[in-house]
Structure 1
Amino acid sequence: MGATTIGMMDAAYFVGRNEILSWVNSTLELSLSKVEEAASGAVYCQLMDVVHPGMVSMHKVSFDAKSEYEMIQNYKVLQDVFNKLKIGRHIEVSKLVKGRPLDNLEFLQWMKRYCDQINNNHVNPTYNAAERRESCKGGKETNRRVVGMSSSGQSSVKSASNANVKTSSGAARRVTTDNSTPNMNGSGRSGGSSEAHVNVTKHTKEQASASIEDHVKQITELKLSVSNLEKERDFYFTKLRDIEILCQAQELSHIPVVKAVQRILYAAEDESSVIAEAQAMMEELDRDILSPGSQNMDDDSKDLLE
């Protein structure tokens, strides 16, 4: 089944946000932190440029698009590519430009499935994403911003590492100083303090050990719970996938009941009226079957046969 015709219950739509963002950032050399940052359409255009080099008019793409009008221009470029490649996927521009996370996540999930199919799950090693963005409006600024964020991240890591080293060194010096301080009063309190310190340390270790055991037990229980949930999810997903395949059969696709089931399967998450619409489809079928006109038509058909 091609990526342009995958159903909403396909495994492609179960890819998480973190995996999607990691894939986009590694493929396009970007630093997106949210899926809605792709709402301008520029990211979608460049993803198509990765799998179909030269097909996208990158000089018409704007990575600096802020207004809906500028974003729509990017989607016009994307739609033009879809038309050239005869891709039947509908682009819901009015929803995507609003920056809603769910809509952009779904479209990115589809994009990943399409790109994986075209490239056989391999990234084009000769594609230079930063260089290709140079010809786009705002592309150079985007590249500088990505480089700046990368440098800032490395500096933060180095600073944190140096701070940890200094803290550890200071603690070590304090411990050394405390341990090397001689007992000046000669009253034998040093031995008593050491024994008390050993007892406290032993008690603390026992508490820590018990706490670790509790955490390990909780983690094990959570892992078992997650495993059971994943099995249950896969079970119901398989059932729904079987139903979807059955409903796509040519000999059944025209039946109203099948259409009602498909309406429920392909409904978006925020469509609260889908059940009512499916019921209305079935009630309309019942009215057509029981209407007097249908009975008269049957009688006429009988007369013609006689």
Structure 2
Amino acid sequence: MASNIGIMDSAYFVGRNEILTWINNRLQLNLSRIEEAASGAVQCQMMDMTYPGVVPMHKVNFDAKTEYDMIQNYKVLQEVFNKLKIAKHLEVNRLVKGRPLDNLEFLQWLKRYCDSVNGGIMNENYNPVERRSKGGKDRHPKGAQKISKSLQSSNLHNPGSGDTVGLNKTSGPKQGRPYAAAGGANSSEVQALSKEITDLKLSVDLLEKERDFYFAKLRDIEILCQTSELEDIPMSVAVKKILYAADAKESPLAEAQEYLYQTLNVGEAEDETEAEAEAETDTGH
């Protein structure tokens, strides 16, 4: 088994969108936020996919909501790390708090590690939905999956697997097949819409950060212009014209530039007048 892996700095430049896409595609989930992986269950299943049979999936609680239940999941993960001799310290107390940055950093490390095993090639024979619902054991040999209500709301059905979820045994074959086909189509639509929503949320987050960044810059300029020592400086007045300009047809930038141009010309003219006056005074003497 591999020991600890040396993580390159570039691993921590992987964004939230890429991490969420990686999780959702591999585990057939529908996560829209990094915090939704704070329970540790996703990390356990990623290791289960990377090292089949090593993780006791029957001990992993995908419905964990309390910190106690989440800690139990991380205990399972730590046991797996110890078994594989992976020297990775888990900041459990921080992860279970659901802090986006702490969880993002750990998932970035996990992605880098999983990608380093077998070249990051996905196990095509791995059925993530089945592993979650059956806890790693074949409890229903006839192939009927029994997925909890919470998993039905958060996990997406895989239309290519041929499995159906919760079909009524009393339904005839003519009723059962259209139901399964409709369920597969709806799942595809839900997956597409969920991905679009996720992308939009990430775009909004980026735009809000960019807005806050430039607003802070403008606020610094405003404070600087309000400093008493700068009240009479032309540049300060010009910047104020831009900051406090109301909506108008004429550009506030053009107005500020015209103000500076006139101010500088007046200043130069006054300097020339003073120079000429001094020259005349010198000549008179």
TM-score normalised by length of structure 2: 0.50
Greater helix content: 1
TM-score normalised by length of structure 1: 0.47
